[in-house]
């Protein structure tokens, strides 16, 4: 074949090869997407867990807080915004939300982490991103410690990594919200659980607790409407504080060894986590965004939170 004829065909052939290559990438990306909707999943110790998949993009497990709040409020109120670049996996942990209870009352951190890993294997995912909120930060960090090669990235939203430190912040600020004339003296020498439950109990009795959690009564009302009519399992919450075990460990020192990309979102006035809680984190590849507001940006600061998350996700290295 003459060189002129070769050049004549080279352009179309090269274009066809590029088209086939792009098509193969597209088909592979589609194949990697999980089927949307609710997934049946039962753990190795026979606990039925609620799992729902929604959105497009890389898989991202939402690790809710509480303990025991479930994922429904975030799913209903923030899902549409978060699912634009991520395929969200909404999991209600054992003894929480819409999931079943453990017959042997095993709600240990180790067991919760095992549930997450069993779910990953069940869904046949090589890696996923973990997005945690509040108390869920302990679970997400413990999982990343044990299975670092399975975590593509961490997104820590107002996340707690040191529960006693967060309880101290809640107790100290919560006490200032109580009316001065009626609040009892706070004995600084009393054990932390005693002080914490005294203050939070009084805040709930006087309907002041939402001032810790939300920027406005409107936000609290939206969450309440999202949960209305749903059966909520509270076994995890009822059990955890009776036998907290390793939930009381400080997981901030472990962050120095976790090398995956990490986005930390925190609230300027978040006294449930502590406004300076994130300063103890030592992730080598950490991006920190301080948002206005309190503990629940999913309802208080959704546009700002979504912008930060989508920017972070789009900068992640491509999955090969």
pLDDT of 27 reads 37
Stretch 175-196: mean pLDDT, rounded?
A: 94
Average per-residue pLDDT for the chain: 89
Which range is least confidently modeled, 26-35, 231-240, 245-254?
Answer: 26-35
pLDDT of 14 reads 52
Buried b (16+ CB within 10 A) or exposed e, 184-198: eeeeeeeeeeebbeb
Q: Are strands 58-63 and 128-133 parallel, antiparallel or unpaired?
A: parallel
pTM across the whole model: 0.88
How does pLDDT run across 52-105, given as a tens digit for each residue? Answer: 999 999 999 999 999 999 999 999 999 999 999 999 999 999 999 999 999 999
Stretch 152-161: mean pLDDT, rounded?
A: 98
Token couple for 265: 């979102």
* pLDDT band (50, 70, 90) for residue 6: very low
Domains and CATH numbers, the chain: 30-162+234-315 (3.40.50.1820)
CA–CA gap between residue 71 and residue 36 (Å, rounded): 16
pLDDT of 317 reads 84
* pLDDT band (50, 70, 90) for residue 35: confident
């Amino acid at each position: 074949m003459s060189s002129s004829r070769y050049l004549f065909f080279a352009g179309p052939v090269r274009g066809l090869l590029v088209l086939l290559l792009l098509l193969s990438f597209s088909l592979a990306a589609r194949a990697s997407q999980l089927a949307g909707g609710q997934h049946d999943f039962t753990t190795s110790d026979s606990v039925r867990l609620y799992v729902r998949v929604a959105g497009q993009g890389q898989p991202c497990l939402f690790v809710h807080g509480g303990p025991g709040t479930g994922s429904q409020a975030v799913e209903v109120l923030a899902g549409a915004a978060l699912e634009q670049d991520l395929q969200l996996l909404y999991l209600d942990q054992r003894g929480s939300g819409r999931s079943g209870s453990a017959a042997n009352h095993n709600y240990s951190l180790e067991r919760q982490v095992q549930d997450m890993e069993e779910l990953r294997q069940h869904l046949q995912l090589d890696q996923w991103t973990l997005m945690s909120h509040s108390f869920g930060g302990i679970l997400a960090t413990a999982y990343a410690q044990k299975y670092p090669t399975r975590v593509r990235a961490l997104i820590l939203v107002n996340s707690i990594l040191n529960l006693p430190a967060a309880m101290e912040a809640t107790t100290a600020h919560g006490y200032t919200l109580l009316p001065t004339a009626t609040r009892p003296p706070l004995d600084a020498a009393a054990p932390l659980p005693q002080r914490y439950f005294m203050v939070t109990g009084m805040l709930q009795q006087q309907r002041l607790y939402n001032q810790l959690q939300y920027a406005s009564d409107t936000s609290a009302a939206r969450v309440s409407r999202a949960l209305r009519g749903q059966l909520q399992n509270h076994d995890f919450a009822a059990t955890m504080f009776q036998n907290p075990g390793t939930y009381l460990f400080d997981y901030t020192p472990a962050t120095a060894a976790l090398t995956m990309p990490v986005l930390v979102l925190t609230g300027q006035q978040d006294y449930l986590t502590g406004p300076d809680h994130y300063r103890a984190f030592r992730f080598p590849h950490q991006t920190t965004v301080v948002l206005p507001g309190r503990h629940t940006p999913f309802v208080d600061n959704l546009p700002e939170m979504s912008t930060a998350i989508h920017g972070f996700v789009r900068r992640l290295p491509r999955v090969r």
